[in-house]
Structure 1
Amino acid sequence: MAAHNKLGEGDKDTAGETFVTGRYQAIGADPAGEYPRTTLAAGAVVWRGERDNPTVAIIHRPHYDDWSLPKGKVDPGESLPVTAQREIQEETGFDITLGKLLGKVAYPVQGRTKVVYYWAARWEGGEFVPNEEVDEVRWVTFAEAARLLTYAVDAQVLDKARKRIKRAPTTRVLLVRHAHAHQRHNWHGDDDLRPLDKKGRRQAKLLATQLAAFGPTAVYAAPPQRCRQTAAPVSDLLGLPVQDFPELADSAFSSTPQTSLQVFNDIVAGGGTPVVVSQGETIRGVLEAINPGFLQREEADFKAKKGSVWVLSFQDGVLTGADYLASPLPVR
């Protein structure tokens, strides 16, 4: 949708935005490649309180004399979820956990296209200290934020966040396909012992920081070595043990799919934000079994690249949203 903006004094980079949103969202392996000469950024609508009556954080930037949502440019070596978490901490001092991906804003800036991805993010703690970028943070209602925000596109992002926060899930599953492993045709031993290769080890390390932005509460993995090796870095980072679930392996799913699906449903029923590291056919089977209508579109064709993450939101066992993160590797 097109967005028309009120420009703050001195702000020359907010014309011509478009905001793309929906219950299904995706970030491809090369988000910068969608536009020529792209500058990538990430931010969030940070909220606290009860989901039926939350307050949200808006920031005042003295350089532009505007009120906006916290966001910032990607640093080298980062994926977009990591950028969003870091930028919010730097601008506001807040610790947050990312929730639903809301969409993206794109607009021209001095011959380039700036693309900003936004999440809904829950405040977990921390206090604001004025800094060079931000001199004031206000916690306000959605109605107050809509009146105060300088740019119309921020109000659009805010409106999408209001709907998603109200439907905040009881469980958010981080469904991960194991990282890149040594090729099957080059491996002559037990296939379950086939390990990650150099690329896969890098993916697993970067997955840990990407997944940490969502506040995992447990880590589950299928038995193959490549699944456990993918789960290990996030387990080490967060101090969460890797729990073996043989029912989540492709071999188990192909022979007893209903048992595998029941195990997955039990994980969903357990609540929290569990990480589940599995294999391609099991992930495909799970996604097809939960059969959400909004994943039937052509662009949501049950992708599951190695090292990818499906962020699945459930409300009392019912899937309400899905985000596909194609890669944990740096976006530039």
Structure 2
Amino acid sequence: MAAAPSLTRDVHAAGAVVFRPGREVLLVHRERYDDWSFPKGKVDPGEHPVATAVREVEEETGLRVSLGRPLPSHRYPNARAMKTVHYWTGRVVGADDVSGFEPNAEISDVRWVPVDEAAALLSYERDQALLQTARASRRRTQALVVQRHSRACARSEWTDDDRLRPLERPGLLQAEALGPLLAAYDVRRLVTSPATRCRETLAPYAATAGVDLEPLEELTEEAATGRGGPAAVAAAVTGLVDDLHAGRRGIVLCTHRPVLPMVFEALGVDDPGLAPGEMVVVHLRRGRVLATEQHLPH
């Protein structure tokens, strides 16, 4: 008799339900299981599921995607453990042609399938149900990432100007781990408090993505907590939301703990009380918040 799966140990995986204009969805066929499903795969050690979803779609289909709204996760028995698969909606960044796909040991076929026909092709009821949920969330959104700076040197140990207070070693590692998450949401603008600890939080991704930092004085603790500061923060956030709608590429806003409640209030989002290095991804469409998700880089 086969061993029952452990209910206390989960194998984690991630993937995406990827749409393109024309109401088509991306499906893959696995030769080993002779099944049709959404592109997905296991989370590597130390990898964040957000990064896994983008990596696995590219490895299985050859297409680079950006993530949209989060979708319900699947949890089901798998061999001797439970498997949890985290899903997002996705859109292709760049060309979406899969006609040149070459079958490999894992994936034998990749197809764009009309959404109305995909349910009949999908092999599992859980994927059919996920498709129905994803269809309601398929319209393109833009991501505004609200980022608290990574762990910084303690105020009590810093005797110079507080704006110059840098990240400590764990904070620098957090900053390095942030890049794959920002890339997953196609973040192309990096708006930050000019304080050193905020600039250092975004610096590794700025260098990798080839994007300049955009210092914004209104996001400093000193400016935001002064007279007229909350109104200035609200105006800055409103301007970024407008820019997001016009430009369609993701924006990250990096600031300080005392400023974050003002940012969230301007967005109409509850303040979750972010830890150092933590983010909230706010998914907007035409300036309206449709979903949020909270992540701490690994």
Q: Offset of 1:289 from its aligned partner? A: 3.5
Report matched runs for 1:277-296 at 5 Å.
277-292=254-269, 295=270
Q: Partner amino acid for 1:264? A: V
CA contact (8 A) 1:93 1:129 kept: no
Q: Quick check: 1:38 aligned with 2:10?
A: yes
User: 1:29 corresponds to which residue?
Assistant: none
The structure-2 alpha-carbon separation of the partners of 1:245 and 1:140, relative to structure 1 and needing over 3 Å to count, comes to: same
Aligned-partner SS, 1:45: strand
What is aligned with 2:158? 187
More deviation, 209-218/126-135: 126-135
- The question of whether the paired residues in 2 share the 8 Å contact of 1:97 and 1:121 is answered with yes
Residue aligned with 1:164, SS: coil
Q: Which amino acid aligns with 1:48?
A: R
Q: Does 1:56 pair with 2:28?
A: no
Instruction: Tell me the equivalent position of 1:207.
Output: 178
Aligned letter for 1:155?
Answer: Q
Q: Per-residue CA shift, 1:79-120, capped at 9, x if unaligned?
A: 111111111111111111111111211112233221110011
User: What secondary structure sits across from 1:312 in the alignment?
Assistant: strand
Q: Percent of aligned pairs with the same residue?
A: 36
Q: How does 1:144-183 map to 2 (within 5 A)?
A: 144-166=117-139, 168-169=140-141, 171-183=142-154
Query: In the alignment, what sits opposite 1:228?
Result: 199
Q: CA 1:106–1:175 in structure 2 vs 1: closer, same or farther (change >3 Å)? A: same
Match of 1:317 in 2: 287
TM-score by length of 1: 0.81
> What is the one-letter code of the residue matched to 2:215?
D
Query: Could you tell me which of 299, 305, 308 is aligned with 2:278?
Result: 308
Q: What does the per-residue CA deviation read over 1:232-276, in whole Å, with 9 as the maximum and x for residues that have no partner?
A: 111111111001011112322222101111111101100221111
2:230 to 257, 263, 288: 257
Contact 2:237 2:266 in 1 (8 A): no
Q: In structure 1, what is the Cα distance between the partners aligned to 2:13 and 2:130?
A: 15
Deviation at 1:217, TM superposition (A): 1.9
For the Cα contact (< 8 Å) 2:233–2:262, is it kept in 1? no
Q: Does 1:270 align with 2:243?
A: yes
Q: CA RMSD in A?
A: 1.9
After TM superposition, list the pairs within 5 Å mapping 1:79-118 onto structure 2: 79-118=48-87
Structure 2 counterpart of 1:119: 88
Deviates more, 1:277-286 or 1:71-80: 277-286
* Displacement of 1:204: 0.4
Partner of 2:209: 238
Q: Distance in 2 between matches of 1:289 and 1:219?
A: 19
Secondary structure, in 3 states, of the residue corresponding to 2:166?
Answer: coil
Distance 1:160 1:305 in 2: 31
1:129 CA drift (Å): 2.3
- Larger relative contact order (CA 8 Å, sep ≥ 6): 1
How far, CA to CA, are the matches of 1:68 and 1:102 in structure 2?
A: 15
| Equivalent in 90, 113, 116 of residue 143 of structure 1 | 116
User: How far is 1:303 from its partner?
Assistant: 3.0
Q: What's 2:188 paired with?
A: 217
3-state SS in 1 of match to 2:187: coil
**2: CA distance, partners of 1:232 / 1:210:** 14
Could you tell me which runs of 5 or more consecutive residues in structure 2 were left unpaired when the two chains were aligned.
none
1:46, CA displacement in angstroms? 1.1
Per-residue deviation at 1:282? Answer: 1.8
How many Å separate the matches in 1 of 2:19 and 2:236?
32
Give secondary structure in 1 for the equivalent of 2:85.
Answer: strand
* Counterpart Cα distance in 2 of 1:78 and 1:206: 9
Query: 1:282-303 CA deviation, whole Å, 9 max, x = no partner?
Result: 22222233335xx5xxxxx613
Query: What secondary structure does 2:120 align onto?
Result: helix
How many residue pairs were aligned?
A: 285
Task: Tell whether the 8 Å contact from 1:91 to 1:131 is kept in structure 2 after alignment.
Answer: no
CA distance in 1, matches of 2:14, 2:273: 23
1:44, 1:118 within 8 Å by CA — same for their partners in 2? Answer: yes
Could you tell me which amino acid in structure 1 is paired with residue 56 of structure 2?
A: E
